[in-house]
Amino acid sequence: MAAAGLLSMGLSQAQAAEQVDMEMVGKIRQEAFHHSQVSQTLQHLTEQIGPRLTNSPNMAKANAWTRQQFKDWGLANVHDEAFDDFGRGWEFRSASLELLSPRAQPLHAVPKAWTPGTQGPVEGEAILVSAKTPKDLDKYKGQLRGKIVLLSEAREYKPGTEPDTQRYDEAGLTELLSFSVPKDVKPEDKAKRLKDYRERQEMTAAQNKFLVEEGALAALSISGWDNGILRVGGGGSRRAGESVGVPELAVAAEHYNPLVRALQRKETVRLRLNSDADFTSQSNDPGYNTIAELPGSGKAEEVVMLGAHMDSWHAGTGASDNGAGVAVMMEAIRILKAVGAKPKRTIRVALWSGEEQGLIGSGEYVKQHLAAYPEPTDPEQKKLPAYFREPTGELQRTKEYGKFAAYFNLDNGSGRIRGIYAQENSAVMPIFESWLAPFNDLGATIVTSRNTGSTDHISFDRVGLPGFQFVQDRLDYSTNVHHSDLDTYDHAMPEDLKQAAAVIASFAYNAAMREEKLPRKPLLKE
């Protein structure tokens, strides 16, 4: 109720200023709901192509297929854009892990990305390595040859006391409308985070090298989640020239814990494993974003962008993270083309790569086209991710920076849109409230002043450009599917994808048609 109250207040202020072409809204909704292709698109990406790890052969297939789709739909300027020096490609075809003794049992496991394959089945005894620092490894010298190393401790099962699948109720939406004034960042906290980051990097490199030198056959670690779910990202290294360590698999918690307990009981644990995984290139290859446009007329040089990352992790098929976002963004521009929209500004869609490794595809795109801080000259600084670097000087803006109208992102699963994060950009809030009004009946109601992070709109936001991510129903994103083997087509909700495509097509059209580009917020200096 409180939410509705706040909304109507927002709307009455905004509607004076913002015009929404309701005839266009009607056309968009009809195309989105009655001629949808969004599920077919998602099914192709997930089940005909499969998982799309950055720089994997499947990612290249996805770039090619989405280009062809965009062309078939009559879009313009369809092409891939490279960003240099991402790293090596990798893929896996199959993987198996079997307990041989003290009893026989197949174990549920999947390789970590960018770890080497086993070149056929290997067998060995398990040994638990408990090491937090490179020094801790020393006591295992001479003990690992021919062994399969357990890298994680056992972990206690956490009973699930919330429903797997959740949607926002009124109370949840109302809560999202509140804003917490941020605490000062203490310099010592920042220094601590940097120190922790460096230590983790050093430990990973040291451990990879140690396991290879000591002749370990392979390594196992516990999956990030319980309930047999394989939640896993990368291991080894994607960078040519760095040690990739030994073959490493993440094992279902229910199958991993018993191995540790058997060792604690002093039993001999023998395992057989096979990881049919390969690096598909030997050099630090570029990654590729796929781009397509619906050209504007009148203000064609001004750009509204839609984006979602097409790369995924490899255990599932990247359906909710983020085939859903890709399918919705493709559907949004397909809808606009299909209904004959003639936007004044150019609407450009980007299907990013390298998001899972740190928003790399979108970050490099922004650097190349829009704005960048000077590169650090200190080689130590160069090695760090952007958020750990010292300030290097003034933001360098391209001519396109001034022509950039807005960026909209979708990457919080397949859940329907319930609103949008304004990222503390107060001036856009009444505008977005007007734009959401025709979709209130579909549950899309709130504009929150809050920031949200962790996906590609941040690449725009951090250079002062208006970049936004929508508020989405969580569904089972953070219980079942995020970076897991359950991130598959069946867990994506088709009606939610249709709704999201309609909202986003309309947002893109509004942003392309309004008199002014979207207002910007002041650039934060660090």
Rounded Cα distance between 67 and 75, Å, is: 9
Chosen residue from 21, 80, 81, 164 binding its own copies by CB under 8 A: 164
Residue 115, CA atoms < 13 Å, CB-side half-sphere? 33
Considering the complex, what minimum distance in angstroms separates the CB of residue 47 from its own copies? 5
Per CB under 8 A, the list member of 159, 182, 379, 393 interacting with its own copies is 159
Least distance from its own copies to the Cβ atom of residue 416, Å: 13
Considering only 95, 335, 339, 446, the residue that binds its own copies (CB under 8 A) is: 95
Please tell me the distance from the alpha carbon of residue 525 to that of residue 519, in angstroms, as a whole number. 19
134: contact with its own copies by CB under 8 A: no
Q: Which of 486, 497, 503, 513 binds its own copies (CB under 8 A)?
A: 486
HEC profile of 366-402: HHHHCEECCCCCCHHHHCCCHHHCCCCCCCEECHHHH
Looking at residues 56 to 75 of the shown chain, list those that interact with its own copies (rule: CB under 8 A). 58
Which of 20, 38, 50, 458 is close enough to bind its own copies by CB under 8 A? 50
Q: What is the DSSP string of 195-211?
A: HHHHHHHHHHHHHHHHH
Distance CA 57, CA 155 (A): 35
Q: What is the rounded distance in angstroms from the CA atom of residue 62 to the CA atom of residue 44?
A: 9
The residue range among 26-34, 40-48, 78-86, 236-244 that interacts with its own copies, by the rule CB under 8 A, is 40-48
CB of 50 to its own copies, least distance (A): 5
Task: Name 196's Cβ contacts closer than 8 Å, sequence gap at least 6.
Answer: none
What three-state secondary structure class fits 149? strand
Binding flag, residue 226, its own copies (CB under 8 A): yes
Instruction: Lay out the sheet containing 345-352: strands in order across.
Output: 76-87, 285-294, 345-352, 299-309, 404-409, 467-472, 417-421, 446-448
Q: Is 435 in the site for its own copies (CB under 8 A)?
A: no
Q: Is residue 511 at the binding interface for its own copies, with CB under 8 A as the rule?
A: no
Interface pick for its own copies out of 4, 13, 15, 47 (rule CB under 8 A): 47
Q: Does 102 bind its own copies (CB under 8 A)?
A: yes
Considering the complex, state which of residue 456 and residue 487 has its C-beta at the smaller distance from its own copies.
487
Peptide bond into 322 cis (omega under 30): yes
Q: Do residues 24 and 341 touch, judged by C-beta distance below 8 A?
A: yes
- Closest distance between its own copies and the C-beta of residue 352, in Å? 23
Task: Select the residue interacting with its own copies from 77, 105, 143, 454 (CB under 8 A).
Answer: 105
Pairing of strands 299-309, 345-352: parallel
Which listed range, 48-56, 186-194, 344-352, 362-370, lies at the site for its own copies (CB under 8 A)? 48-56
Q: Is 161 in the site for its own copies (CB under 8 A)?
A: yes
Q: What is the binding site for its own copies (CB under 8 A)? A: 43, 47-50, 58, 93-96, 98, 102-106, 108, 110, 156-157, 159-165, 226-229, 253-255, 257-258, 261-262, 265, 267, 276, 316, 475-476, 479-480, 485-486, 488-491, 493
